[in-house]
Every structure is written in C-alpha cells, then in structure tokens.
Amino acid sequence: MPELTRRRALTAAAALAAAAGVQTRVAPGASAAGHSHGGPLEPFDEVYRGRRIQGRPAGTGDMGGMDGTGGHHHGHGTGYAVFVDGVELHVMRNADGSWISVVSHYDPVATPRAAARAAVDELQGAALLPFLAN
C-alpha cells in the first residue's frame, strides 16, 4: 500500500470537496425543490431565432419524416426526442433532472426546450448534423 503523503491527502480532500459540490448543483432556471425527475414533459413546436425546434415524448408519431434518423433512436433512452430544423438533437437527462445535449454538453438546463434553444444559440446559424450513436 502506498505511503500517505500530504500531497495525496490534499488531493483526496480536493476530490471529495469537488464531488460534494457537483452533487448539490442545480441547473440554471431550475429549483432544487421544484423540478421533477420523472414527470411527463409537454411537446413543443416553435421557431426560435429563425430555427424550428420541436420536442415530444419519444415514440409518439413522426416529425414529418425530416428527422434524418430513419425513424429510430428517438430520445436515446430519455423517452423524449428533440429536433432542430428536422434533425434530431441528441439530448440526455442528468440524475438531478437537468438536461444536456451534444451541442451544449457542459451547460445543463432545466428542460428539453431549453436544451434545444441552447443548441440553436451555440450553433450560431450552422446546420445541426445527425448524431449517429451506435
């Protein structure tokens, strides 16, 4: 077993402090007491900054055949599918109930709609390319 040094003790203490800080973090726009971890999410369809963003529970119909995925893999296990200009935006739900996408992965938000809007902001007019996950 390696010898316990001051450097290793400080590293372990810093790691524990960082882990404790991550567990209590709440996504911007969400309150720790107010958001649900498994409640139903409402569908949305709107134009945001000139881009059409849509979201719906996965498996509830077709997005007009424009999703670029061949009609499968919607929601990637989240039970919710999000699209930007008809191309599926891969979204994931964190353990704390916040949402992230492949475009704005390090900026958790409170809802899939907010994730779609953050992606549009980050894309700055560029096209969203299909994300081909396994």
Q: DSSP labels for 33-56?
A: TT--SSPPPPPEEEEETTEEEEEE
Rounded distance, CA 39 to CA 2, Å? 48
CA triple 88-117-107, angle to 5 deg: 95
Query: Looking at residues 5-26, what average pLDDT do you find?
Result: 63
Residue located via tokens 């938000």: 109
At residue 87's C-alpha, the angle toward residues 83 and 93, to 5°, is 45
pLDDT, one tens digit per residue, over 79-106 is 899 999 999 999 999 999 999 999 988 9
Which pTM does this prediction carry? 0.61
Query: 44-125: what fold?
Result: protein ne1242 fold (3.30.1880)
Q: pLDDT (tens digit, 9 = 90+) per residue, 16-66?
A: 666 655 444 444 444 433 344 556 789 999 999 999 999 999 875 544 444
Question: CA separation (Å) from 117 to 3, 22, 30, 72?
Answer: 50, 24, 16, 23
Q: How would you classify residue 130: left for phi > 0, otherwise alpha for psi between -120 and 50, otherwise beta?
A: beta
pLDDT of residue 23: 47
What does the pLDDT read at residue 131?
79
What are the domain boundaries of the chain?
Answer: 44-125
Q: Are the CB atoms for 88 and 53 separated by under 8 Å?
A: no
pLDDT for res 38:
54
